[in-house]
Structure formats: C-alpha cells, structure tokens
Amino acid sequence: MDPTVVTTAALQSQLPEWTALGPVIVLGLTGLLLLTIDAIWPKRNANTTYAIVSAAGAIIALGITVWYLVAGTGQETHGGAITLFSEAIVVDGMALFFTAIFTSVAALVIVASHDYLKGHENSAEFYSLLMFATTGMALMAVSNSLVTVFVSLEMASLPSYALVGFLKKDRGSVEASLKYFLIGALSSAVFLFGISLIYAVTGSLLLTEISAQFADGGVAGFAGVAGIGVLMIAGGFAYKTASVPFHFWAPEAYEGAPAPVSAFLSSASKAAGFVVAFRVFAEAFMPLLEVTPAIDWALAFAVLAVLTMVVGNFAAATQENVKRMLAYSSIGHAGYALIGLAALTAGGPHNGDVMGAAMAHLLIYGFMNTGAFLFIAMVEYWGVGRTFEDYAGLSQKAPLACVAMAVFMFSLAGLPVFGGFFSKYALFASAVSAGFWWLAAVGAVTSALSLYYYSRVVKAIWIEEPNGNLDVIESKPTGLYAAIIFAAVATVLLLPGFPIALETAEAAASALFA
C-alpha cells in the first residue's frame, strides 16, 4: 500500500461512524439547498447557478465515496461493514461501489441538463428532484432492512415520476410519466405485499434476522406464503430494473421523458434496483435455496434473465426510433445483469465472482448508456428527428460527439476493444464456471444480435449521406458535449481500469456471502 493511501485511510478511520453516510447526506442537503436558493432568490434564469450547485453536490458525494472506497471504509480489510440505526443501514464495499455509479451518472446528467433546460421554467425543481432521486438511490444501496429498502425505493421512484413528466406541456412526456407512475404504483404495492408476507413468516424485517430465521427453522408450514412473498419481492425488483415481466413502462418512459432523464433512469435507477436485489436476495433469502422445501428463486431469476435478454434485444432490433431502440437495449442489459442473481447457488464457490461481474458490468454500463442517451439529448436539443434516417450524416456536423457515440455503441454491443467487452466476458465466464453455461450462451447469442442494431446507428451517423435536415444545427451545447466526451473517456479508460473495477466489485460481492 502506498503512503498516501495509508494516510487517507488513517484519516477516515478517525471520523465518527455516522460519516459513513456522508455521500447520502451531501446529496440530500444539496437538493434542499437548491430549493432554498430558489425560495429566497426566485430568479427566472438562474439555470447556471442551480447546475453548478447540484453538480458540485454530486461531485463532492462522488469524491467522498471514492475516498471511502480507497480508504477501505466498511470493507473486509478495515473491520467489515459499518451498521447504523440498529442495523437498518449498512455501509460496505457494495454500497460504496454503487453509490459511485449513481453519483457519477447524476453528475454527467446534471452537466448535460444545463443546456437541455435552457428556456424552460422551474429548473431549480428539476435539479432538486434529480438530487432527491439520487439520494433515494444512494439510500437503497445502504439499506439493510426491508423497511429501508421500501422507503428508499419510493424515495427514488417518486421524484423520478415527476422528472419524466417534467415537460408538462409535451403530450409524450405526460403520457410517459402517467404510464411510469401507474406501473410503478402497482409494482410497489405488489412489492410491499411481498414484504408483509415475509414479515408474516419470519417476524422480522431486518435482512440478517430474516436470513437467520430461515436458516434456523426453515419455512415450516408457511412455505407457500414465503414463496409467494419472495416472488412478489422479485416482481418489485423486476419493475425497478426494467426486466420482464414488468418492463412495459421502460420503452414508453424512456422515449417520452426528456433525454437526460432517460439517461438517468436507464443507468442509475436500473443499477439501484440491482443493488437492493443483490443485497436482499444474497443476504436474506440465500438460506431458502437449501432448506426443505426449497424456494428456488435463483431458477426464477434464470428464467427472467433469459426472457429479458431475448425480449429486450429482439424488440430493439425492430425499432425505427433511436431512443426507443436504446430503451429496449437497456432492457436487454438488465437481462445480462440478472445473470448475477440467476447463477447463484447455495454455498456456491463462484457466487462472489458472478455477482461481482454483474456489478462491474453495471458500472461500465452506467457510463456507456448514459453517454448514448446524452447523445440523443443533444440531437433532441438540435431538433433533428428521432429515427435512424434522421441521424444520417451527423458526423459531418459533430465529428467528436459522433466518435463518442460510436464508442458507446460498440461498447454496448461488447466489441473486444471497449470496456463493455470485458464486463460481458467476465460475466459470461463466471456464469460458465458456476455451471450455468446456458445463461452465458443465451447472453452471447443476444449480444451478437445486438451488434446489428447498434451498428445501424454507427452506419447512419458515419456512412450515410445527410438528407438535408441537419441545417437546423446551429449551436454547440458545451455542457452536453463535455458530458458526452467525459462518458466516452470513462468508457475507454475502464478498459485498462477494468481489472481494478472487477477486483473491487468481486471483493464487495464476496463479503455478502462470507
């Protein structure tokens, strides 16, 4: 360990325990600060101020998170997970890893929104809703009880509904918001009923106590109730991660929402769904795989993973609208990450590897998918159309952004020279070594299919001739440009940096199974 790491680690260990929640607190306070500024100096055109304040909040939270990750806060090497509020909150490697994803995506989206929101009213509300949603997600990452899981999930969802409907005079945005809300309200009710059934069987809502109860007495006599409860909880996560069978909202919400919000939801919100799913199932429901009668939720996730990969990728291949294509592709990626749950086995030696690979995939996906949606945001900002034909010849107007878009597309498809290849490779390899070769096979085949529709975008922007609708492009939105370029740089840098990311993720995931 080099000396600087030792100093930062020592400095961190002198802080009181509650500071482990630092990133969450900073995010929440930033949201409140934005509302305060708006209430005290209600100026109509303070968009820049709000963007600076919220970006600063997100970047400070990201900085604290990365510092804790490096210093080893809550990780195996430094005394294990930190629990707060009677174990309802836990700060460990996994929580910090995911908080890093949420805060980086939020920072990128804020920088990009600055241009997108020009000329819109209520920009303070937009940024504060974004900060509150990020706070909810960061809280999801540290939830260690079904109470905090449900409350934080709602804390992340409620601002998201409002964000999707932010363009309140745009019919598409309102319709998207309505559909997102209806399916969200329904699935959170299903999720809550599942929680109440688990409480009925175990008499506790803390993940560790539920796990102990299941391992101790099994589900004697209540197997049916417990099984339905687990399935309903899985349904709630399927909604949050936009997986089959609760994926219907995703294409609508992503297509109708302002594009920066689509970027935020499809990257950060999906990762947030996965972090709670990982923690709840790995921590609380693991014993259910081995008790008699066993409740084989891993099999349920395997079926969902296959369906999600197939549905997402095939539906994406048939789209004419680029944003909708990306929405379906993000459903397909949820299927890949679901392998991280599907390939778990009771006491399996590869559990940490599989889940770690899924986490690393979500990290890289966070950058490449956000970048791709922000490119769409820039095209929307220019007022060019939405279909593949409208994108023809964009590289003549914006070569740099189009290089970045090509990087995102090839990385999402998993071509060998980009970060997306390594994360998919690690994921499929770990699934094979855990004995789930058929999951890896479906993943590989659907990835090959995805290359078709991703390369259609690249072909349109780089090879096809412009068909005359690009004259509307006048300005160069600096913020959007910067965010897209930064996301591309991160996607490329995660190529040499992937071993570090994977190692951190696997260590964090293994700690859950210890």
3-class state of residue 344 by DSSP: coil
Query: How many Å separate Cα 76 from the centre of its chain?
Result: 25
Q: Considering the complex, what minimum distance in angstroms separates the CB of residue 177 from other proteins?
A: 5
Q: Tell me how far apart the alpha carbons of residues 148 and 154 are, in angstroms, rounded to a whole number.
A: 10
Alpha-carbon separation of residue 37 from 59, 116, 128 (angstroms): 19, 21, 11
In this complex, which beta carbon is closest to other proteins, that of residue 176 or of residue 480? 176
* Pairing, β 82-84 against β 89-91: antiparallel
Q: Considering the complex, what minimum distance in angstroms separates the CB of residue 306 from other proteins?
A: 22
Contact between 213 and 203 under an 8 Å Cβ cutoff? The reply is yes
Q: Considering the complex, what minimum distance in angstroms separates the CB of residue 162 from other proteins?
A: 6
In this complex, which beta carbon is closest to other proteins, that of residue 14 or of residue 86? 86
Query: How many Å separate Cα 251 from the centre of its chain?
Result: 16
In this complex, which beta carbon is closest to other proteins, that of residue 92 or of residue 255? 255
Q: Considering the complex, what minimum distance in angstroms separates the CB of residue 153 from other proteins?
A: 10
In this complex, which beta carbon is closest to other proteins, that of residue 6 or of residue 185? 185
Give the CA count within 13 Å in the CB-facing half-sphere of 129: 19
The token pair that represents 361 in the structure block: 């995939």
Q: Considering the complex, what minimum distance in angstroms separates the CB of residue 131 from other proteins?
A: 17
The token pair that represents 29 in the structure block: 């306070």
In this complex, which beta carbon is closest to other proteins, that of residue 46 or of residue 192? 192
Q: Considering the complex, what minimum distance in angstroms separates the CB of residue 248 from other proteins?
A: 7
Backbone φ, ψ for residue 145 (5° rounding):
-140, 150
In this complex, which beta carbon is closest to other proteins, that of residue 203 or of residue 496? 203
Q: Considering the complex, what minimum distance in angstroms separates the CB of residue 201 from other proteins?
A: 9
Contact between 384 and 470 under an 8 Å Cβ cutoff? The reply is yes
Q: Tell me how far apart the alpha carbons of residues 151 and 46 are, in angstroms, rounded to a whole number.
A: 32
Identify each DSSP E strand in 247-400 by its residue range: none
Q: Considering the complex, what minimum distance in angstroms separates the CB of residue 407 from other proteins?
A: 29
Q: Considering the complex, what minimum distance in angstroms separates the CB of residue 399 from other proteins?
A: 32
In this complex, which beta carbon is closest to other proteins, that of residue 161 or of residue 373? 161
Binding site for other proteins (CB under 8 A): 147, 150-151, 154, 158, 161-162, 165, 168-169, 171-172, 174-179, 181-182, 185-186, 188-190, 192-193, 195-197, 199-200, 203-205, 225, 248, 251-252, 255-256
Comparing C-alpha atoms, which of 291, 355, 339, 342 is closest to residue 513?
Answer: 355
In this complex, which beta carbon is closest to other proteins, that of residue 86 or of residue 475? 86
- Residue 107, judged by CB atoms within 10 A of its CB (0-12, 13-18, 19+), counts as buried
Identify each DSSP E strand in 387-476 by its residue range: none
Backbone φ, ψ for residue 89 (5° rounding):
-120, 135
Q: Considering the complex, what minimum distance in angstroms separates the CB of residue 139 from other proteins?
A: 14
Alpha-carbon separation of residue 317 from 83, 305, 329, 375, 452 (angstroms): 45, 18, 9, 19, 7
Give the CA count within 13 Å in the CB-facing half-sphere of 243: 30
In this complex, which beta carbon is closest to other proteins, that of residue 136 or of residue 414? 136
In this complex, which beta carbon is closest to other proteins, that of residue 147 or of residue 495? 147
